[in-house]
Amino acid sequence: MAVVSLQDTLAHSLSARYGVPAFNILNDLTIEAVLAAAVQERSPVILQTSVKTVRQYGSEQLYDIFRTLVRGVDVPVTLHLDHCPYRDVISDCLRRGWNSVLFDAHELDVEENVRQTTEVVAEARATGAHVEGEIEGIQGVEDGVGSDDKPESMSLEVATDFIQRTGVQCFAPAIGNAHGQYTSAPVLDHQRVSDLVEATGVPMALHGGTGLSTAQFQDLIARGCAKVNISTALKETFMKSGLSFLTETEKRGTWDPPSLFAAQKQAVVDMAVQHMRDFRSSGQAW
């Protein structure tokens, strides 16, 4: 089993109540590291690309890198486009072969969001892909998308109606979570996750994973957060491992790029493995 749809992977994790880790990868090295962790742990995994990463490479090159590196991987892997308000980037990634997209239209009023998300769901269906929907915005800027303002919270009825009318396969609720490191302890509305899953049967995506505790992850996963997003932890691991390696390199005066890459890759593998164990996705590959 290698590349699987978002719906298949989340149906499995929702029913078995574990979280599929969704890592925002940055380049070939971080893709390789996350896949190596998934193979080692026998864990399903989602590789997410921000719009910034898609634009940095171009969708064709990024998709080719993904296809090359996923070859021979025998655990379920899903390629997902994270927060994307741009219909042209959505269409481009869907045409190219991404398995799913987060159409982030929270800045539109809810009726227009419903109308456009319904269109995106139909567009995705035509390529065998799926859609994560969002109506409130998640606090914090992620790769240039989003805002630091506290999002307006919608009622359970509005959110349920959005999920049912659009037919999204996954939903990203605002529950007091935020992108980036938390500056104060988050106060999470756990009950909202339970209520939404009970009302719709649709799996939830937990955004703002970096900085949450194992107990918080496991509680939210038990309530139906079947997809758990990690971005900041990967970025910090990648850059800090590079910094400490280069600091040592400067002292030694031996400059060997492959040793730097190996150190960064191992640090990202270790970070990903830890999350797979925390989310209880280890051993869940089917």
Nearer to ligand 13P, 24 or 113 (CB): 24
Nearer to ligand 13P, 42 or 52 (CB): 52
User: Taking Cα atoms as reference points, which of 19, 29, 47 lies closest to residue 267?
Assistant: 29
Nearer to ligand 13P, 64 or 180 (CB): 180
Instruction: Give the active site residue among 8, 64, 74, 82.
Output: 82
What is the DSSP secondary-structure string of 242-284? HHHHHHHHHHHT---HHHHHHHHHHHHHHHHHHHHHHTT-TT-
Q: Which structure tokens are listed for 254?
A: 């031996």
Query: What does the binding site for ligand 13P look like in residue numbers (CB under 6 A)?
Result: 24, 82-83, 142, 179-180, 207-210, 229-233
Q: How far is the CB of 74 from ligand 13P (least distance, A)?
A: 26
92 is catalytic: no
Q: How far is the CB of 183 from ligand 13P (least distance, A)?
A: 12
Name residue 263's amino acid. Answer: A
Cα distance between residue 245 and residue 259, in whole Å: 9
* 107 DSSP assignment: T
Nearer to ligand 13P, 161 or 180 (CB): 180
**Continuous segment of H or E residues that includes residue 279:** none
* 169 DSSP assignment: S
Q: How far, rounded to the nearest angstrom, does the alpha carbon of residue 109 sit from its chain's CA centroid?
A: 24
CA dihedral 167, 173, 179, 184 (to 10 degrees): 180
Q: How far is the CB of 251 from ligand 13P (least distance, A)?
A: 32
Q: How far is the CB of 228 from ligand 13P (least distance, A)?
A: 9
Q: How far is the CB of 246 from ligand 13P (least distance, A)?
A: 24
Q: How far, rounded to the nearest angstrom, does the alpha carbon of residue 245 sit from its chain's CA centroid?
A: 28
Nearer to ligand 13P, 76 or 208 (CB): 208
- Catalytic site residues? 82
